[in-house]
């Protein structure tokens, strides 16, 4: 008999806010020192009332749980990822990993099978984890990232009140060697499921030639504030399952960032995507620091290594300005 899923609705019920939102962290015990520092930075700029949900593919140690619980000002809840969501798909062998990558090319993290499991988990499973099901919104936080600006407006409240679905800070060019066939699979999906494509959409963010090729622009998903109801939708689940059956998370090294970016660009109207220009943020080696003087006066940014204000951002902003008059 199938085990009954644990009801974690109490995690939200104990939340003092009216918004079903959480801070979501995928991490391991060895991340403790970096994560405590990140939590302190986040809480210094954003004194929130949202619970932390932390997941791992193995059980967290009591030492780790105590350290994190002491670091947060609200509550921290620790969960386990089922093995079936952190293992090779049925029929795939370890020798298959990386077999479709271009021979002789360097692929970042190619030797880390755990990295591929992480990318697949973030692409298709996290939002249905029992501990996340009570929530509508999540803010993805990674150990070691930095937050540099006082956040006066609650990002979750902004998302809800302005009907936004996906929020980001940094957009970049994807590493082409990790995704040699991804766009061809996406084009196949679009031909098979045209009913899921939004009109209007943000294809211009992804492509300079009407979708024939991908320009490799994507939102850097180590920072996301998003509505999980989008990921739980039929269109997104169909998209993920379609890609997952192609095997590219393992045969190549598809990341969750391009998967999320392509999905939001194709399945959402452009005004559902929001650039959080007021959130200073670092994920090595990239820092985004607001240039607006009214915002930057409340920031303490490190030396900028790279900027989010690149040609990918401009592509989305041009679409939003043309359609809605939105300007950042």
Half-sphere exposure of 71 (CA within 13 A, CB side): 22
pLDDT bin (cut points 50, 70, 90) of residue 12 is: confident
pLDDT bin (cut points 50, 70, 90) of residue 304 is: low
At 205 the pLDDT is 97
pLDDT tens for each residue of 109-127: 677 799 999 999 999 999 9
Q: Which one of 174, 204, 224, 252 is the catalytic residue?
A: 224
Q: Are 108 and 102 in contact (CB under 8 A)?
A: no
pLDDT tens for each residue of 139-161: 999 999 999 999 999 999 999 99
Q: What is the DSSP string of 257-295?
A: HHHHHHHHHHHS-GGGEEE-TT--EEETTEEE----HHH
Q: Detail the DSSP E strand segments found in 41-132.
A: 52-56, 76-80
| Lowest mean pLDDT, pick from 1-10, 134-143, 185-194 | 1-10
Q: Is 189 helix (H, G, I), strand (E, B) or coil?
A: helix
Mean of all residue pLDDT scores within the chain: 93
Q: Output the CA–CA distances (angstroms, integers) from residue 184 to 110, 181, 187, 197, 267, in the order listed.
A: 21, 5, 5, 16, 17
Catalytic (active site) residue 224: yes
Percent of the chain at pLDDT above 90? Answer: 83
Alpha-carbon span 318 to 322, nearest angstrom: 6
Minimal CA–CA distance to 236: which of 266, 213, 208? 266
Tokens standing for residue 125 = 């499973």
Cα 211-226-326 angle, rounded to 5 deg: 65
Q: Are 182 and 190 in contact (CB under 8 A)?
A: no
Alpha-carbon span 94 to 130, nearest angstrom: 29
At 309 the pLDDT is 53
Mind listing the domains of the chain with CATH numbers?
Answer: 9-324 (3.90.550.10)
pLDDT tens for each residue of 159-207: 999 999 999 999 999 999 999 999 999 999 999 999 999 999 999 999 9
Q: Output the CA–CA distances (angstroms, integers) from residue 227 to 46, 91, 164, 165, 222, in the order listed.
A: 19, 33, 8, 5, 15
């Amino acid at each position: 008999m199938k085990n009954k899923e644990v009801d974690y609705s109490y995690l939200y019920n104990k939340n003092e806010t009216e918004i079903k939102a959480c801070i979501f962290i995928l991490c391991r015990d060895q991340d403790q020192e970096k994560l405590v520092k990140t939590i302190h930075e986040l809480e210094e700029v954003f004194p929130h009332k949202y619970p932390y949900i932390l997941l791992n593919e193995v059980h967290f140690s009591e030492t780790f749980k105590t350290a994190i619980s002491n670091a947060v000002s609200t509550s921290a809840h620790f969960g386990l990822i089922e093995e079936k969501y952190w293992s090779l798909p049925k029929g795939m062998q370890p020798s298959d990993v990386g077999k479709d990558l271009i021979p002789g090319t360097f692929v970042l993290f190619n030797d880390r099978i755990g990295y591929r499991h992480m990318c697949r988990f973030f692409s298709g499973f996290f939002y249905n984890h029992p501990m996340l099901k009570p929530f509508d919104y999540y803010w993805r936080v990674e150990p070691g990232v930095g937050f540099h600006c006082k956040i006066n407006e609650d990002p979750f409240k902004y998302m809800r009140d302005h009907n936004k679905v996906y929020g980001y800070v940094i957009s970049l060019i994807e590493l082409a060697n990790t995704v040699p066939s991804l766009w061809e699979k996406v084009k196949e999906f679009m031909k098979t499921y045209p009913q899921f494509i939004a009109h209007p959409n943000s294809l211009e963010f992804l492509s300079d030639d009407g979708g024939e090729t991908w320009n490799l622009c994507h939102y850097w998903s180590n920072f996301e504030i998003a509505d999980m109801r989008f990921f739980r939708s039929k269109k997104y689940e169909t998209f993920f399952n379609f890609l997952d059956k192609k095997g590219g998370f393992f045969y190549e090294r598809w990341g969750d960032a391009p998967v999320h970016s392509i999905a939001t660009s194709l399945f959402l109207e452009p005004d559902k995507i929001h650039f959080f220009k007021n959130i200073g943020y670092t994920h090595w080696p990239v820092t985004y620091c607001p240039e607006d003087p009214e915002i930057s006066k409340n920031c303490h940014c490190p030396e900028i290594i790279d900027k989010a204000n690149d040609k990918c951002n401009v592509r989305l902003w041009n679409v939003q300005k043309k359609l809605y008059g939105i300007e950042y």
